[in-house]
């Protein structure tokens, strides 16, 4: 499938070098962003729902604003009770112009979202938002926040994922601190800033974490919880799980697959030096002017997870990256020439996809050249539904993670337990 790509200005906020493929990828992401618009899926409100089962119930998450005066909440509860809707949990967020109430509701399966919204509106609720909930939402807010804090404490790469689970569907972008040791942008308070649907938080390394959720404004309580998670991350410092797996390739060579971080910069740079210009061009879609600038970004747990393949002597011969790209997830591979066509790339890709599934990603995409038959074959080898988008020799392959895959030990690599 050929897709027209609109030219857009290329941003280089994260200090990565600008190459033709990155300009393509930026345009590709812009088109996807305009398509998604970060709005709740139509299935959350008025899309066709499954045929109601008599006696069945449906869980809903709902947020509405009521006047901050006695009796407002009581009227709302009475309106819901009139439709046989149970309130399983309630959180209130006082604001200057009223109170935002968050509900977890259990309603009769045949009751549509529109009827709940109408009842809430008749009782004085405004700016009402509702979506389907599931069993995970039955966990109370303090327990959920503590669980996310525990995950973040074990792995620095969990911070963006924890923020997304805390705040729901949102776009999270990290911008590193400017070069020269200047910490953070001017004008941003130490405690961060909240502006309706956008929050900005000082990243532990001095940059900025921007969180956007255009379809639903953030509350001060959500801002405080997000800021607490970021502050916890800053206090704990750099950390990566040290679990590793030793595998034997088909021809008999033993390799170790483990998580990598900035401490592997020198070994990763040495691998780059051993790679041919052709291999580097296939990976980076152009000449590599400054490998350090690429690798500092790719190895940082702030931007995703990296797996390294090393030989028995400790030499790194392959790198696989799972990169958080706003609300998308990218996979990328680099395997040293002498170790290509030996199953290393497929092993890395399978593990990256397993990590993406564990992180709750709906899909992953790879940006490569149409001539890169190895990467295309590895993506096909996943056994997942694939979408292809081509433009001037650049190929974007998107794998939808809605079918089971073999995890090949990703749980150990993604957790704090070391083997």
Checking if the pLDDT of 182 tops 50, the result is no
286-300 average pLDDT score: 73
Checking if the pLDDT of 412 tops 50, the result is no
Higher pLDDT pick, 89 / 328: 89
- Give the integer Cα–Cα distance in Å for 328 and 29: 8
**Model pLDDT, residue 79:** 94
Higher pLDDT pick, 389 / 408: 389
- Give the integer Cα–Cα distance in Å for 231 and 224: 10
Task: Sheet containing 98-108: give its strands across.
Answer: 86-95, 98-108, 57-66, 126-132
- Give the integer Cα–Cα distance in Å for 266 and 292: 9
Structure tokens at 224: 């405080």
What is the chain's Cα-based Rg? 24
Checking if the pLDDT of 403 tops 70, the result is no
Using alpha carbons, select from 373, 323, 348 the residue that is nearest to residue 157.
323
- Give the integer Cα–Cα distance in Å for 195 and 390: 38
Checking if the pLDDT of 246 tops 50, the result is yes
Tens digits of residue pLDDT in 198-237: 999 988 777 888 999 988 889 888 999 999 999 998 888 8
* DSSP 8-class letter at 290: -
Tens digits of residue pLDDT in 152-178: 888 888 888 888 888 888 888 887 766
Higher pLDDT pick, 406 / 276: 276
Say whether pTM exceeds 0.85.
Answer: no
**Model pLDDT, residue 53:** 53
């Amino acid at each position: 499938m050929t897709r027209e790509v609109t030219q857009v200005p290329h941003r280089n906020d994260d200090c990565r070098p600008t190459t033709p493929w990155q300009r393509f990828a930026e345009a590709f992401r812009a088109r996807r962003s305009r398509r998604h618009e970060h709005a709740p899926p139509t299935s959350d409100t008025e899309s066709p729902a499954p045929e109601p089962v008599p006696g069945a119930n449906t869980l809903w998450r709902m947020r509405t604003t009521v006047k901050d005066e006695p009796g407002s909440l009581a009227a709302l509860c009475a309106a819901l009770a009139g439709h046989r809707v149970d309130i399983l949990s309630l959180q209130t967020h006082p604001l200057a112009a009223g109170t935002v109430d968050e509900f977890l509701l259990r309603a009769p399966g045949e009751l549509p979202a529109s009827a709940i919204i109408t009842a809430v509106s008749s009782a004085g609720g405004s700016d009402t938002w509702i979506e389907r909930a599931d069993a995970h939402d039955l966990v109370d807010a303090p327990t959920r926040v503590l669980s996310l804090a525990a995950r973040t404490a074990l792995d620095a790469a969990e911070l963006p994922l924890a923020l997304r689970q805390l705040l729901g569907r949102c776009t999270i972008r990290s911008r590193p601190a400017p070069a020269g040791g200047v910490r953070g942008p001017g004008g941003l308070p130490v405690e961060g800033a909240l502006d309706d649907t956008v929050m900005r938080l000082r990243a532990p390394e001095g940059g900025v974490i921007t969180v956007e959720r255009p379809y639903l404004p953030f509350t001060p309580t959500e801002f405080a919880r997000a800021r607490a998670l970021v502050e916890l991350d800053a206090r704990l410092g750099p950390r990566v799980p040290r679990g590793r797996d030793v595998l034997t390739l088909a021809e008999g060579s033993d390799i170790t697959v483990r998580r990598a971080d900035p401490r592997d910069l020198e070994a990763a740079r040495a691998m780059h030096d051993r790679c041919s210009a052709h291999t580097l061009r296939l990976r980076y879609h152009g000449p590599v002017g400054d490998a350090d600038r690429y690798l500092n970004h790719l190895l940082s747990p702030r931007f995703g997870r990296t797996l390294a393949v090393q030989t028995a002597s400790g030499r790194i011969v392959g790198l696989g990256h799972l990169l958080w790209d706003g609300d998308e997830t990218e996979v990328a591979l680099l395997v040293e020439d002498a170790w290509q066509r030996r199953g290393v790339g497929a092993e890395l890709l399978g593990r990256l996809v397993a990590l993406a599934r564990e992180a709750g990603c709906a899909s992953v995409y790879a940006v490569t050249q149409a001539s890169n038959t190895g990467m295309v074959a590895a993506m096909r080898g996943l056994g997942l539904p694939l979408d292809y988008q081509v433009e001037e020799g650049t190929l974007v392959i998107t794998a939808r993670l809605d079918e089971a895959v073999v995890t090949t030990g990703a749980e150990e690599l993604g957790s704090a337990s070391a083997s």
